[in-house]
Amino acid sequence: MLQASLVRMRVKLPRAAGDATRRWLDREAIAIAVSDGTHVGRAEAAPLPQMSGETLELVERSLRAIPWADIDPEIDDPLTLAALLVPDDVPSARFAVEAALLDLVGRARNLSVAAMLAEREPAGAVSTAALLDDLDTAVVRATVALSAGAGALKVKIGRPDRIDEECALLRALRKELGPTVRIRADANGTLEDEHDRRIGMLAEIGCELLEEPFPVERLLAMERRLPLAVGLDESLARDPVRALRALDLGRAQALVLKPALLGGIGRALALAESAKARGARAIVSHLYDAPRAFAACAHLALALAGAPGGTSEVHGLARYAGVDQWIDEHGSAIPVPRVIGAFRIERPDGGGLG
CA-wise closest residue to 119 among 305, 339, 316, 283? 305
Q: What is the pLDDT of residues 241-258, one digit of tens each?
A: 999 999 999 999 999 999
In this structure, are 193 and 340 located in the same domain? Answer: yes
In this structure, are 88 and 125 located in the same domain? Answer: no
Cβ atoms of residues 54 and 63 within 8 Å:
no
More confident residue, 271 or 306: 271
pLDDT at 309 over 70: no
Q: In which element (H, E) is residue 198 found?
A: helix 197-204
pLDDT at 308 over 70: no
Q: Give the DSSP letter string of 133-190.
A: --TTTHHHHHHHHHHTT-SEEEEE---TT-HHHHHHHHHHHHHHH-TTS-EEEE-TT-
pLDDT at 120 over 90: no
* 352 within some domain: no
Is the four-CA dihedral 205, 209, 211, 212 of positive or negative sign? positive
Domain of residue 73 covers: 3-110
* 41 within some domain: yes
pLDDT at 205 over 70: yes
Predicted pLDDT at 2 = 97
Domain end (from 86, 110, 134): 110
Predicted pLDDT at 20 = 85
Instruction: Look at the chain and report how many structural domains it folds into.
Output: 2
> Model confidence at 177, in pLDDT bands (50, 70, 90)?
very high
Predicted pLDDT at 348 = 87
**CATH code (residue 17):** 3.30.390.10
Predicted pLDDT at 312 = 75
Those residues whose C-beta lies under 8 Å from the C-beta of residue 354, and which sit 6 or more positions away, are 112, 295, 337, 338, 339, 348
Cβ atoms of residues 228 and 56 within 8 Å:
no
b vs e for 285-324, b when ≥16 Cβ sit within 10 Å of the residue's Cβ? bbbbbbbbbbbbbbbbbbbbbbbeebeebbbbbbbbebbe
The angle at the Cα of 15, spanning 206 to 125, to the nearest 5 degrees, equals 55
> Model confidence at 311, in pLDDT bands (50, 70, 90)?
low
Q: What is the pLDDT of residues 26-39, one digit of tens each?
A: 999 999 999 999 99
Q: What is the pLDDT of residues 6-23, one digit of tens each?
A: 999 999 999 999 988 899
Cβ atoms of residues 264 and 79 within 8 Å:
yes
**CATH code (residue 314):** 3.20.20.120
Determine the average pLDDT of the residues in 310-315.
Answer: 80
What's the full length of the chain, in residues?
354
Q: What is the pLDDT of residues 210-221, one digit of tens each?
A: 999 999 999 999
* 351 within some domain: no
Domain end (from 76, 110, 144): 110
* 26 within some domain: yes
In this structure, are 25 and 52 located in the same domain? Answer: yes
Domain end (from 59, 85, 110): 110
Cβ atoms of residues 313 and 281 within 8 Å:
yes
pLDDT at 74 over 60: yes
In this structure, are 14 and 149 located in the same domain? Answer: no
Determine the average pLDDT of the residues in 78-94.
Answer: 98
Q: At what angle do helices 163-177 and 138-147 cross, to 10 degrees?
A: 30
Q: What is the pLDDT of residues 179-201, one digit of tens each?
A: 999 999 999 999 999 999 999 99
> How far apart are alpha carbons 114 and 112 in whole angstroms?
5
> Model confidence at 307, in pLDDT bands (50, 70, 90)?
low
> Model confidence at 306, in pLDDT bands (50, 70, 90)?
confident
